[in-house]
Amino acid sequence: MNPPLQIAAFHSWPSDMDAIFWIHEEGLDDNCLEAYRKALQESTSVPLNIFVATGGEKMKSWDHLPSLLQSFSQHRLSRHSVVLTTGGGAMSDAVGFAASIWKRGMRVAHVPTTALAMVDAAWGGKTAFNYDGKKNQLGTFHAPLFVHIDACWLNTLPERHRRSGLAEVAKHAMLDPILGWNHLKDWPDWSPTDQDVLRTWTDRMKDSAEAKRRIVEEDPFETGRRATLNLGHTIGHAVEAHFSATDAPWLHGEAVALGLRFAIFMASESSSDDFQPLKDWLQRQVPLPSVVWPSANELWPIMTHDKKNSLGEVREVHWKGWGDVVWPQILEKDAFKATWPAFLRSEMESPHL
């Protein structure tokens, strides 16, 4: 296993910190937990309070917020305390929100344990709670002190979830000219006992997250360029919502992967560049459930409620090639109902499936 956290070397605790409240999900790798516990204790002399929670989307229900605030109260956390989360994106969303309103703002840091959280959810300072049956209706901007990535946490993550998170890795490579195809090619197969593989995954996840950090730093409150991080998400959110009410819901990354494949199809229609290696990578790394994909008539009504829309117009991020995007691109109903079936036909006819 890699040196666990080395928190003193990579991250500096605030000089006025009076306590660390470490909240981590249950069921994580025992070796990772023990190594991080020792590293945290050695990194500072302030009290280390440990709280074990059940992760997942239920953490973001409004009814769950009082229990988080009660745990802060019981441990007498102040504005000088630091909450450290170790879990998936739902945990960083929920705990980040609770920390942002505790004492008018308590500091937070994240050690994400899922591929999706490592490269996306834990970054950017967005917090969220679900409300009135709708996802992410409440939230704040509350930037973390740091986000620490270590692939060792992926050891206990189901393969489907690990692969799902790679959709966001592909998205960042598509958006960032520094990353591009070089970031994706020769991606090593997962092997939890191979230290070289763990180090490579850790480094590549860090590089992917850094691409998001650069965009967020330029536009922290999503008034411009940060909106391009929604590449693949107009379709993705609609697909995710479509299957959410079925017996076989799709994971977020799977739905985004389909949205990215649609973006690649649209770019291929107007570009002479060869995007087949990228399409093959997505198909191989993020395999999609074997079900009938929704039609344009099923997706469009959902897409009209996307939070990125404005003045009744469906807006999407249009990808033209590596590091070349247009935002906002207005998506017309008739145009979508013509291109989506063409995309589905191309996927069915693809010899690479």
* Tens digits of residue pLDDT in 160-170: 999 999 999 99
Contact 279, 261 (CB under 8 A): yes
Confidence (pTM): 0.90
Q: CA 13, CA 27: separation in Å to the nearest integer? A: 27
10 has pLDDT over 60: no
Contact 23, 85 (CB under 8 A): yes
Q: What is the pLDDT of residue 133?
A: 77
Which of 7-16, 128-137, 216-225, 226-235 has the highest average model confidence (pLDDT)? 226-235
159 has pLDDT over 70: yes
How does strand 82-87 pair with strand 20-25?
A: parallel
Distances (CA, A) of 4 to 9, 152, 274: 11, 9, 41
Q: CA 314, CA 161: separation in Å to the nearest integer? A: 29
Write out the catalytic residue numbers. Answer: 104, 126, 168, 212, 222, 226, 230, 233, 237, 252
Q: What is the pLDDT of residue 7?
A: 52
Name which of 241, 240, 322, 224 is nearest 288 in CA terms: 240
Q: What is the pLDDT of residue 12?
A: 79
3-state helix, strand, coil in the chain (%, to 5): 50, 15, 35
Q: CA 208, CA 147: separation in Å to the nearest integer? A: 13
1 has pLDDT over 70: no
5 has pLDDT over 80: no
Contact 156, 210 (CB under 8 A): no
Mean pLDDT of the chain: 93
Token output for 224: 């411009």
Q: CA 338, CA 293: separation in Å to the nearest integer? A: 16
Q: CA 3, CA 1: separation in Å to the nearest integer? A: 7
312 has pLDDT over 70: yes
Q: What is the pLDDT of residue 108?
A: 97
Confidence of residue 135 (pLDDT cuts 50, 70, 90): confident
State what percent of residues in the chain have pLDDT above 70: 96
56 has pLDDT over 60: yes
How does strand 134-138 pair with strand 314-321?
A: unpaired
Confidence of residue 136 (pLDDT cuts 50, 70, 90): confident
Range in 75-89, 137-151, 312-326, 338-352 the model is least confident about: 338-352
Q: CA 158, CA 306: separation in Å to the nearest integer? A: 29
Q: What is the pLDDT of residue 272?
A: 80
Q: Is 29 helix (H, G, I), strand (E, B) or coil?
A: coil
- Torsion over CA: 120, 122, 124, 129 (sign): positive
What domains appear along the chain, each with residue ranges and CATH number?
7-157 (3.40.50.1970), 225-347 (1.20.1090.10)
Q: CA 322, CA 171: separation in Å to the nearest integer? A: 10
Q: What pairs with residue 209 in β-bridges?
A: none
63-70 contacts, C-beta under 8 A, 24 or more apart: 64/94, 65/94, 65/97, 65/98, 65/129, 68/94, 68/95, 68/98, 69/98, 69/102
